[in-house]
Amino acid sequence: MDVRYEKEKYQFLYRVSVLIVNKDQTKCLLFHVVDRKVYMLIGGKVRELETSLEAIKREVKEEIGWDNLEYQFLGLSEEVIKENNQDVQFINVMYKAIYNEEIKEEEFHGLEGDWAIYKWVNINDLDNYLLHPKEIKQMMANKNEVFHLINKVD
């Protein structure tokens, strides 16, 4: 069961995500949902009694089938948004991983269905994409910085 708490007009979610970069760190792997323009990091919800590292390894395996990445802590993101007449609070533990193999496909569908499209995006082209979190370009540029992102939308 996912770590999730819900009551009346409030919901809390514990999530993980990963910034996957190619070996020379000039590209990052992002995904978007068909018919949506926002590009995001791979990730998902943490399950009860699961560590954030276990969760991100599971999510990457489920979404794209990779299990040979090494993960390093990248930071923490806190977000409070309004969605469907409800206040939603996310805590997201972020990791970084380097993909050391040659990129075979610049764009591909994930294992969970054709609704998710994964794309290797050049760091110099990130300004041309609507990103979530919007700090992805900054995360790529600052190779050793730990991030704490806070986004509250009233």
pLDDT value at 108 more than 90: yes
d(CA 145, CA 154): 28
Q: Give the C-alpha separation, 16 to 141, whole Å.
A: 21
Q: Which is higher by pLDDT, 43 or 83? A: 43
pLDDT in tens, 15-49: 999 999 999 999 999 999 999 999 999 999 999 99
User: What is the arithmetic mean of pLDDT over 113-124?
Assistant: 96
In DSSP terms, 149 is beta-bridged to: 77
134 CB neighbour count, 10 Å cutoff = 13
Whether the per-residue pLDDT at 94 is higher than 80: the answer is: yes
Per-residue pLDDT, 142: 75
Q: What is the pLDDT of residue 141?
A: 80
Return the closest-CA partner of residue 59 out of 74, 135, 67.
Answer: 67
pLDDT band for position 78 (50/70/90)? Answer: very high
What is the structure's pLDDT at 10?
Answer: 96
Residue ranges of domains in the chain, CATH in brackets = 4-152 (3.90.79.10)
Distance CA 35, CA 94 (A): 26
Parallel, antiparallel or unpaired: strands 107-110 and 38-40: unpaired
Structure token pair of residue 44: 């998902």
Please choose, from the candidates 52, 68, 65, 51, the residue with its C-alpha nearest in 3D space to the C-alpha of residue 18: 52
Return the percent helix, strand and coil in the chain, to nearest 5.
Answer: 15, 55, 30
Q: Mean pLDDT across the chain, nearest whole number? A: 94
- Report how far apart, in Å, the C-alpha atoms of 42 and of each of 5, 54, 98, 130, 154 are: 22, 14, 13, 15, 26
**What's the pTM?**
0.93
Residue 140 reports pLDDT greater than 90: no
Q: How confident is the model at residue 90 (pLDDT cuts 50, 70, 90)?
A: very high
